[in-house]
Amino acid sequence: MISRRSFCKKSILILGGIAVPLAALELFDPKKLAADRSGPSTVRWVFLVDTHKCVGCGFCVKACKIENEIPYDANVSRTWVERYVVTRDGKVHIDSPKAARDGFTSTSIDQGALGMLKIENNDIDKAFFVPKLCNQCDNPPCVQVCPVGATYQTSDGVVLVDRSWCIGCGYCVMACPYGVRFFHPVYHAAEKCNFCYHRISKGMKPVCVEACPFGARRIGNIRDPDDPVTRIIMTERVNVLKEEYGTKPQVFYVGLTREVK
Amino acid sequence: MKNHVLRPLFVAVGVVVLILLAREVLVPADFGVQERGYMYGWHRKGNEADWKNVRVKYRTTAYCKECHQDKYADITGSPHGAIMCENCHGPGLAHPDDPQSLHIDRRRELCIRCHFRLPYQASGRGRIRGIDPATHHPEAECVLCHYPHNPRWTPGKEARR
Amino acid sequence: MVHGEAWTVKELFVYPNEYIYWTIQIVMYPFMTGLVAGAFVLSSLYHVFGVKQLKEIARFSLVFSFALLPVAMMPLLLHLQFPLRGIEVMLTPHFTSAILSPLFCRGGPGSPQGHAAGGYAAGPLSALFAPDTRGVGYR
């Protein structure tokens, strides 16, 4: 005979157990991601960023803007570099003046409308640079929300935008948690990093990879187990940005810390 | 059925037929569900080729060294060896047909991208030799004293390789 | 000038591409459709359901409703970068987008109804446009 009290207790326990989705218990595992992709393509482009190597020179941003015809003086960019300065009082200062197109040539932090913040060198606990670009997510939220099918993912994992079909509603711009998308100032369609699709499909590397003198940016094919980038992703400590959004981002970072947003 | 029910129904059906007709005319023939399924692959197939056909502007060092062997030999062993030619010389898309299209950036702003002194030990920047451009010969172009293809060598002096 | 730069104020750190794109026009659209629907209901209360107290306002609200109907969509269309391409929402609808939910009942894969019905059968109109899920294209 079951008492009312124990019945209630057990029901709550069972309901709670059912409510916790299995996905929440699952830890991040790139091996599983690689195995998951049993699609027709033998290529799945991924990116590897080593934040230890980045010095914030901004050559990648400059080259990207010219290569991909983003107006040079417009305040949007397919890729950008962020500077993180953690000071002794525990504050995290972040900036990316002009998307770091001209590099970081000041010790002051650009706070936008609040002006420049001067930081003494002695106050710095740690400071580093983080390059950002499109994560070419496996579950791209920007593609899911497009009402007309103007943006899509190719079989090799790159998310592209059809400039002749985009209506310019801005939903994809709003949906991207990484702030990668924007409206092209000339073509007015949604615009984003596509790993220089015209280059990687010709066997070249994306222009930011070529422009980086320090090897901080690398591209690879995660379906090829012998690819050096795949080796690093599988065997070393890498992380991704905003994993909790469930987007399955495919840009892997070495040396990410909790300050990085 | 009554007339006032049928009439709006006809209008609704007419609108749907009109949209379906417009679809036949206006939607490109290669629009459809592609490899990634309906959620992520609902698009015009021809657009993938459009993106592949974008013109390459940066030809990379491998292209430059075909003609400029001497310059390549200069830079390749130096600390600047990893810097792509076009980072400073501009994209080589129209070169050598139109030599004027190359714009060599000799401004101080180019050099201080890396050589502005930032004491960030957590990144590689802290280990690069840097200057404060406000005090380090502010009136001069860097290339007056430093040879960019091999910074260890200065004009008028023996190479320190 | 980037779209959105004129009215976006950036303080501290925001992503370089982050500008406010959805502005007053998005709010005007539900407001105006609300006016249309409300005026229509008000008028139908008299004309259909016979609420005699509304006789004075019934005719005016009907005219008001029909006059506002064609322009209610305008702010939504004008906020698009390509207003003339707005019709593509009807031509190649992507039902996984929430933008389509006011137009059609959602029934694409990924939506709860779509999964429950095993495909596209959920919405009355979405069924008409249901693309072939076997990957051949809709033709």
pLDDT in tens, chain A (261 residues): 788 888 898 889 888 877 765 555 554 555 555 545 555 678 999 999 999 999 999 999 999 999 999 999 999 999 999 999 999 999 999 999 999 999 999 888 888 888 889 888 888 999 999 999 999 999 999 999 999 999 999 999 999 999 999 999 999 999 999 999 999 999 999 999 999 999 999 999 999 999 999 999 999 999 988 999 999 999 999 999 998 998 999 999 998 888 887
Let me know if residue B120 belongs to a domain.
no
Q: How many domains does chain B have?
A: 1
Closest Cβ opposite residue C96 in set A111, A144, A174: A144
Q: DSSP characters for chain C? A: --TTTTT---BS---TT----S-HHHHHHHHHHHHHHHHHHHHHHHHTT--GGGHHHHHHHHHHHHHHHHHHTHHHHHTSSSGGGGGHHHHS--TTSGGGTTTS---STTSHHHHHTTSS-SSTTHHHHPPPTTTT---
C13–chain A Cβ distance below 8 A for any pair: yes
- With beta carbons under 8 A apart, name residues in chain A contacting B90: 66
**Cβ within 8 Å, pair B121-A126:** yes
- Chain C closest-CA separation from residue B22 CA (Å): 7
The pTM of this model reads 0.80
- Chain B closest-CA separation from residue A67 CA (Å): 6
**Cβ within 8 Å, pair C135-B23:** no
Let me know if residue B112 belongs to a domain.
no
**Cβ within 8 Å, pair A165-B120:** no
CB C10 within 8 A of CB A113: yes
CB A66 within 8 A of CB A100: no
Let me know if residue B130 belongs to a domain.
no
- Chain A closest-CA separation from residue C64 CA (Å): 29
Domain boundaries, chain A: 30-84+131-254, 85-130
Q: Is the domain covering A30-84+131-254 a CATH 3.30.70.20 domain? A: yes
Let me know if residue B12 belongs to a domain.
yes
Q: What's at C126, amino acid-wise? A: S
pLDDT greater than 70 at residue C118: no
**Cβ within 8 Å, pair A145-C98:** yes
Q: Which chains touch C (3 or more CB pairs under 8 A)?
A: A, B
Let me know if residue B23 belongs to a domain.
yes
CA dist A52 and B125 (Å) reads 9
